[in-house]
Structure 1
Amino acid sequence: MLTVHSLTLDHVAGVDHAHVELPDTGVVVIHGPNESGKSTLLTAFRLLLDDVGVSSRAARVRALKSVTVDEPTTVSADLTVAGHRLTVLKSFNRGGGRCELTVRSPRPESLTGRRAEERFAELLAQGVDTGLTDALVIEQGKGLDILAAAGIRSLEQALGAEVTSDDGIPAGDGGRAGELIDRIGAEYARYRTPGGRPARELSAAVTAFEDAGAAHTAAEERRNRARNLTVELERLNAEKAAVLTEEPTAVEEATAAAQALAEGKAAMSELDRYSAAVTVARGARDLAAQRLAAREARVRDVREAEETVNALAGRVDELAGYAEEEKTAADSLGAALTAARVRSRVAAAWAAWLKAVGVREEIRTRIGELADRTTRAEEVARRIREIGETVKDNPVTDTVLENLRTADAELRQAVTVRDAVATTVVVNGPKEGTVTVDGTSRSLPDGAVTLHATGRRDIGVGDYTVSVIPARDVHEVGEDVDRAEEELSRLLAEAGVSDVAEAEDMAGRRRRATEEHREASLRLAQVTGGMSVTDLREALAREELRESESTGGIDSLLARVRDEDPDGTVTLPGVPDGDPETAAPQVTATVAGLETVAESSAKEVEDLREELDRVTRSGAGVRLEAARAELGRARENLRRLSETLEVEREQIGDTVLYKEAEDAGRDLTSAEEALALAKKRVGDVDTDTLAALADGAAARVRRLRERAGEIGHAVSRVTGALGQHAGAAEAVETTRAELERARRRLRQVERRAEAAALLYQEVRKELVAARQRYQAPLREAVERLARTLYGAPAGIDFGDDLGVTARTLDGTTLDTGRLSGGAREQLAVLTRLAVADLVGGGNGVPVIIDDALGFSDRGRAGRMNVVLDKLGKNHQIIVLTCDVNRFDSVPGASFVPMEQVLQGKGIH
Structure 2
Amino acid sequence: MILHSLTIENYKAIERETIEFGETGITLIEGRNESGKTSVFEAFRLLINTKSKSKPRALKESVRVGADSPISISAEMSIGKERIRYSKTYLSKAETSLEFLSQVKSALRDDEAHEYVLAKLEDSANIKLWEKLSLRQDQESTQLNAVDEISSLKQALDSEAGDTLSAADDSLFLQVKAERDQYLGKNGAPIGELRKLHDEVAELTAEFEVARSAAEALEADIDKLSDAAAKRSEKQRMIDDRKKALVVAEEKASLLDKAQRAHEEFAQRSQLAQAQLDNSEHARDRRRELAESVDSSRAHVERTAEAHDSALREEESAKADLGSATKAHAAAEAKARASTTKVSDARRRIEEVEVRKELASRKTRRDKVEELTNRINELNAQKRLIKADESYIERLRSARSSMREADAGLKAGSSLVSVEGRGEALIDGYTIDASKGWSAYAEDPVRLEIGEVTVSVVPPKNAAEAKERFDAARKAFEELLADRDYDSIDDAEDDLKKLGGLNTAIAESTGQRESALGESTAEENRERISDLEAKLAELSDDIENSDSRDDDDVLGKAKTQLAEAEIEREQADSELAGAAGIVNQARIRDAEARSKAASYRESLAELRDAHDRSEASLKDARDTVTDHALEAAFEAAKKSVDDLAGEGEGIAENLDEAKREAQLHDLETTRQALKRHQQVLDDLIRQYNELNADIKAKSEQGYATKKDNAEIALREVQQRCDSMQARANAADLLLTTLDSHRQQLISRYSAPLRERLVRYGKLVFGADFDVSLDEHLVVKERKLDGATVGFDQLSGGAKEQFGLLTRLVCAELVGDATVPIFLDDTMGFTDPQRRQAMAAVLTEAGKKSQVIILTCDEARFDAIGDATQHSMS
- Does TM, normalized by the shorter one, top 0.5? no
TM-score, scaled relative to structure 1: 0.39
Q: Pick the structure with greater CA Rg.
A: 1
TM-score, scaled relative to structure 2: 0.40
